């Protein structure tokens, strides 16, 4: 059998990392050139995942620790696959199986991990600002995989990458983010990044799910009626209701929310022909999105998943300076 060739990032991508930060903690302040460089690299990485042999030697000998203090399926598995496909040694740990469950502080955890000389730590934590805390105390690169309700930069980057692959240049594109804005780190990161890329972002939600001071803190408009905006949208990003972060109910019942803000087949049919429907997952089928829409032709949810692995491979490459040899 003919051997499957192993591909490497192009020399152009490998040799030019200007503008790329030492850590990836936020989308706020990430420049257009750095984002485009990441997308170019991710396109090449995506081809690796589509081959029979899904492996590069790019990060061979490097160590990546995935430290997840909150539950995760997609993000954790995506980062693990990304690291392994790049040839890195990947170590996973969760709070329930670590000394954090015994009362160890985040600072002590940071010092312990740093003493093991990792090259990159991917962290998800329930406390906003935890990745910045670690970045100040660790000698390795840090990637924010979600901190409280603050930010989730790699999700926003894979979302923007998916949007770009389907819609092209995002300058002037109208993107609706619909649902639980108040508790969504995905929404915050997407707003910052899409604004940087020139998109016009409108958040659509019940007034109880729009955070206080929204207009002053985030570069996006907000609206309480989805039907007023649906016919001119280029993309609609649906968000899960995060009950685990709510101290009280912010709407009467799921059915009422679904009627006013859910993406159902009738609303999907009113979208422009080119428009796409997104969701970061996990999905509450029948609440924020109808099963027929989630599995329908407009939905790019599984594209987001595939692109997430490729984009996280690209992040590892750019942060750790992988070799193209």
Residue 98 and residue 109 in contact, taking contact as beta carbons nearer than 8 Å: yes
DSSP state of 3: P
Predicted confidence pLDDT, tens digits, the chain (325 residues) = 333 333 333 333 333 444 577 999 999 889 999 999 999 999 999 999 999 999 999 999 999 999 999 989 999 999 999 999 999 999 998 877 666 666 789 989 889 999 999 999 999 999 999 999 999 999 999 999 999 999 999 999 999 999 999 999 999 999 999 999 988 999 999 999 999 999 999 999 988 888 777 767 789 999 999 999 999 999 999 998 865 544 555 555 788 889 999 999 999 999 999 999 999 999 999 999 999 999 999 999 999 999 999 999 999 999 998 644 3
210-217, long-range: CB < 8 A, 24+ apart:
210/181, 210/182, 211/181, 211/182, 214/181
Report residue 103 as tokens. Answer: 């009362």
The predicted pLDDT at position 9 comes to 38
The predicted pLDDT at position 58 comes to 94
Q: Which helix (H) or strand (E) holds 259?
A: helix 254-261
Which residue, among 178, 261, 273, 195, has the nearest Cα to 231 in the 3D structure?
Answer: 273
The predicted pLDDT at position 207 comes to 86
Determine the Cα–Cα distance for residues 13 and 280; give it in Å rounded to an integer.
Answer: 28
The predicted pLDDT at position 12 comes to 33
Residue 32 and residue 38 in contact, taking contact as beta carbons nearer than 8 Å: no
Residue 182 and residue 242 in contact, taking contact as beta carbons nearer than 8 Å: no
The predicted pLDDT at position 254 comes to 80
State the architecture of 11-151+305-320 in CATH terms.
3-Layer(aba) Sandwich (3.40)
The predicted pLDDT at position 252 comes to 52
CATH topology of 11-151+305-320 equal to that of 153-304? Answer: yes
Determine the Cα–Cα distance for residues 71 and 38; give it in Å rounded to an integer.
Answer: 27
Burial of 214 (0-12, 13-18, 19+ CB in 10 A): middle
The predicted pLDDT at position 99 comes to 64
Determine the Cα–Cα distance for residues 57 and 63; give it in Å rounded to an integer.
Answer: 13
pTM higher than the cut 0.75: yes
Q: How far is CA 237 from CA 22, 32, 171, 175, 304, in A?
A: 29, 21, 17, 7, 11
Domain segments of the chain as ranges: 11-151+305-320, 153-304
CATH number of the 153-304 domain: 3.40.50.1370
The predicted pLDDT at position 18 comes to 45
Determine the Cα–Cα distance for residues 266 and 142; give it in Å rounded to an integer.
Answer: 43
Q: What are the φ and ψ backbone dihedral angles of 159, each rounded to 5 degrees?
A: -65, -45
């Amino acid at each position: 059998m003919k051997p499957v060739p192993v591909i490497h990032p192009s020399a152009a991508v490998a040799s030019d990392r200007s503008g790329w930060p030492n850590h990836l903690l936020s989308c706020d302040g990430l420049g257009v050139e750095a984002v485009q460089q990441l997308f170019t690299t991710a396109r090449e990485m995506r081809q690796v995942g589509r081959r029979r042999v899904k492996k590069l030697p790019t990060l061979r000998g490097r160590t990546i620790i995935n430290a997840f203090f909150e539950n995760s399926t997609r993000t954790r598995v995506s980062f693990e696959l990304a690291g392994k496909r790049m040839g890195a040694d990947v170590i996973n740990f969760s709070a329930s199986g670590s000394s954090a469950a015994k009362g160890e502080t985040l600072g002590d955890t940071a010092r312990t991990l740093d003493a093991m000389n990792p090259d990159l730590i991917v962290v998800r934590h329930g406390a906003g600002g935890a990745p910045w805390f670690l970045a100040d105390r660790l000698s390795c690169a840090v990637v924010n995989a979600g901190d409280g309700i603050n930010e989730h930069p790699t999700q926003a980057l894979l979302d923007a990458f998916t949007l770009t692959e389907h819609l092209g240049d995002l300058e002037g594109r109208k993107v609706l983010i619909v649902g639980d804005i108040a508790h969504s780190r995905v929404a915050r990161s997407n707003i910052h990044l899409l604004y940087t890329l020139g998109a016009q972002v409108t958040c659509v939600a019940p007034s109880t799910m729009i955070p206080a001071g929204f207009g002053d803190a985030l570069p996006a408009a907000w609206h309480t009626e989805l039907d007023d905006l649906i016919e001119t949208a280029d993309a609609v990003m649906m968000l899960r209701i995060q009950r685990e972060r709510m101290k009280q109910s912010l709407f009467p019942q799921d059915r009422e929310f679904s009627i006013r803000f859910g993406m159902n087949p009738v609303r999907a049919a009113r979208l422009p022909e080119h428009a796409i429907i997104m969701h970061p997952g996990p999905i509450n089928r029948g609440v924020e999105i109808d099963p027929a829409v989630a599995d329908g032709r407009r939905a790019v949810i599984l594209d987001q998943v595939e692109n997430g692995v490729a984009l996280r491979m690209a992040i590892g490459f750019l942060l750790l300076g992988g070799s193209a040899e």
